[in-house]
Structure 1
Amino acid sequence: MAHAMVTLDMIKEARNRLKGVAQETAIMQSTSLSQRCGCEVYLKMENFQRTGSFKLRGAYNKVASLTDEERALGIVASSAGNHAQGVALAAKEYGCKATICMPSNAPLSKVEATLSYGADVVLSGDFYADAYNEACCLQEKKGYTFCHPFDDPVVMAGQGTIGLEILEEVPDADVIIVPVGGGGLIAGVAAAAKAVKPSIRIIGVQTANMPSMQQSLKEGHIVTVPANKSLADGIAVGTPGTLTFEMVQQYVDEVVTVTESEIAETILFLLERVKTAVEGAGACPVAAMINDKIDGLAGKKVVALVSGGNIDVNMIDRIINNGLVKSWRRIYLDVIVQDRPHVLSTLTGLISDTNANILSIWHDRSQRDIEVGYVHVSLEIETMGEKHVKNLHQTLIDHGFPAVIK
């Protein structure tokens, strides 16, 4: 029977193994999210876990459960980044060799962190599936012990310890929302939570770019979806696990999806309002709530699992810029003005009089479609929102500067 795959006893055993290794991360109530979503929202902050993600729990539990002989062979794992760090840290603690296969475009921060724990990193292909195939080849060639990132009962039991922690701290929780890639996290959390409180709802969230678990549930059997790039690299998995799929079918109430722009906006929202840095996968549960993807949450106690915080700093920079432009807090203005003294200072003076801040300015006389005696000016401007931008635009037009907002 499927239900015996990950038992409450296995999860409790994992918890004992993880004592002093994994932190029991904070569960924090979010007023801004509660107001926005119309329910009582708690965030389980696994982005504050050692290695920056929940993956340490399952990876460490797996390495700890191996025999001395299995560890002596060396460990191989495939990972989009977070499982890699968990396995590397566990291998270091047990003094065994670890080789981790990751996609060649894995975030640099995740690759460097994995190396820092002393593991060897092999970069292979563009997607998780490529890294997995490489790990399987190495296992065959070198006789390593394989640590699967999700399709393994011992790994799932490790992730399930989160379910126990949530219900100890918020025993009257009605719903737990969990990111879903291969399904190891949600399978473990659901097994733990439903064992303790059978009435609880468990909702999974995937990126719409790779909705493999959602599609598999719809069709009643495991399907593989095409590989796509996603901000949520941690859950960009094309094929669910065999064991995880069985458990998700049994324990999970629903799987919904969020788009890339919804994920980006949520990363920015969490950074600005909740003061926490979250990677794409970790933002998915909150993105689903903010964008009304889940029915029946009104007035309920909801725990969103923030699974990890290992986001590339370059990515944060892009997401912030994109968010500022979308919310009219940064605009790009184009205007053609007469090329004579004081015109530029008049233009910049008008802009600063409206309390907008000029970040950069270019002017260019050499464009083909500009008449002699005129100059093309581009400005990057910091503003205070859509209303402010409209006032600024109108002011410029009123003073003879026909500006175009890009």
Structure 2
Amino acid sequence: MSLHITTPLLSSRPLSLLAGREVLLKMEALQPPGSFKIRGIGLACETYQRQGAQRFVSSSGGNAGLAVAWAGRHLGVAVTVVVPETTSLRAQELLRQEQAEVIVYGSSWQEANQYARSLLGARDAFLHPFDDPLLWQGHASMIDEVAQSGIKPDAVVLSVGGGGLLAGVVAGLQRNGWRDVPVLAVETTGAASFHAAQAAGHSVELAEINSIASSLGAKRVCDQALRCASEHPIESLLVSDLAAVSACERFLDDHRVLVEPACGASLALVYEAHPQIAAYQKLLVIVCGGATSSVEQLQKTAAALRG
């Protein structure tokens, strides 16, 4: 039995009416730890446990860390998560609820990640938030589920942070014979590492992340994301922070589900009627989640952005 669940595939009446085309939602926000991350991280944790790992070490205060902590608790394996100082107290508390040891270190994810790696012992396994073939293989299962439903979308809309979701979805599309289904890869303008890499034709490290969509805050996407762009039709698109947050608010009203701004970036493509969606009659949006989100946080962020 896998650690992730088969999530609902919904036809969104509000979004379909708004967009004038069918909008399908893959509801990954309903995974037990709150995001799609449990698909790949669950597979990786099970694999590493079979190989003898007695502790899982991760470096994420967000969805990935929560997925590792959740998987570790269910597998009976100790978990240590190193988070940067910018990690919210709510996120730290959620990690501790899952019985993870939480270490706060460094001012950025990069620093926390380096420290997490320094902790590794002979019987520890490191769980990278997005750059691991096991993660991509696990994330691909969401497309397997769509294919099994008998529905083929004209395009898939998803958010890009480090590139793990993108790599997994492309793997899923290809293993189901859907190489002709393009991916609309969305980032906020202040966290556009994939967009920068596509424009340059090679991996690019951003000088800084300047976006409230913190889950998209990888300064450099994984190399696999760029390989995907060379072998699959991918369109890189940008939305504003305000568009992403507004989409979260509207989605909460429309579907009674709270997601984070990183997920709102994808939803904004529909809510803002982005011209790029006009070419497709059946859109599949990956509602990737956001376990650390709260209504209060969303309201505060929206108020700050609106001035």
* Fold match by TM threshold 0.5: yes
1:118 paired to 2:87: no
Q: For the residues of structure 1 that align with 2:226 and 2:279, how far apart are their CA atoms?
A: 29
Q: CA RMSD in A?
A: 2.2
Residue 145 of structure 1 corresponds to: 125
Any conservation in 2 of the 1:55–1:86 contact (CA below 8 Å)?
yes
Q: How does 1:179-218 map to 2 (within 5 A)?
A: 179-196=159-176, 197-218=178-199
Change (3 A) 1:179 1:122: same
State the secondary structure of the residue aligned to 1:41.
strand
Q: Whose RCO is larger (CA < 8 A, sep 6+)?
A: 2
| 2:40 maps to amino acid | G
2:218 paired with 1:240: no
The equivalent of 1:369 in structure 2 is none
1:195-344 alignment runs, 5 A limit = 195-196=175-176, 197-293=178-274, 295-298=276-279, 300-310=281-291, 311-319=293-301, 321=303
**Deviation of the 1:292 alpha carbon:** 3.9
Q: Give the match for residue 48 of structure 2.
A: 66
Establish whether residue 24 from structure 1 lines up as the match of residue 25 from structure 2.
Answer: no
Q: CA deviation at 1:319?
A: 4.4
Does the C-alpha gap of structure 1 residues 69 and 198 become closer, same or farther in structure 2, counting only changes over 3 Å? closer
Contact 1:103-1:124 at 8 Å conserved across structures: yes
Partners of 1:203 and 1:153 in 2: how far apart? Answer: 22
CA distance in 1, matches of 2:277, 2:266: 15
Residue 147 (structure 2) pairs with residue 167 (structure 1): yes
- Whichever of the two has the greater Rg, that structure is 1
Contact conserved, 1:191 with 1:251, CA < 8 A, in 2? no
What letter is aligned with 1:126? Answer: S
Which secondary structure state, in structure 1, belongs to the residue aligned with residue 246 of structure 2? helix
- State the shift of 1:218 in Å: 1.4
Q: Give the aligned residue type for 2:80.
A: T
Give the aligned length: 305
Offset, 1:23: 1.3
Listed as ranges, the gaps of 5+ residues in structure 1 are 1-16, 327-405
Q: CA deviation at 1:193?
A: 1.3
**CA shift digits 1:310-334 (9 cap, x unpaired):** 21343123246569xx6xxxxxxxx
TM-score scaled by structure 2? Answer: 0.91
* Cα distance change on mapping 1:292 and 1:131 into 2, 3 Å: farther
Q: Secondary structure at the match of 1:297?
A: helix
Instruction: Select between 201-210 and 241-250 the one with higher mean Cα deviation.
Output: 241-250
How far did 1:182 drift? 0.7
The letter of the residue matching 2:237 is V
Shift of 1:49: 0.9
C-alpha distance in 1 between matches for 2:153 and 2:146? 8
Give 3-state SS (helix, strand or coil) of 2:33's partner. helix
Q: For 1:100, what is the secondary structure of its paired residue?
A: strand
Partner of 2:39: 57
Aligned AA (2:139): Q
TM-score by length of 1: 0.70
Residues 287 and 275 of structure 1: CA distance in aligned 2, closer, same or farther (over 3 Å): same
Asked if the contact 1:39/1:298 (under 8 Å) is kept, the reply is no
Q: Distance in 2 between matches of 1:108 and 1:295?
A: 38
User: What's the % identity of the aligned pairs?
Assistant: 26
What secondary structure sits across from 2:191 in the alignment?
Answer: coil
1:79 CA displacement: 1.4
Deviations 1:196-234 (A, max 9, x none): 122211111112111101111111111101222433221
SS in 1 for 2:278: coil
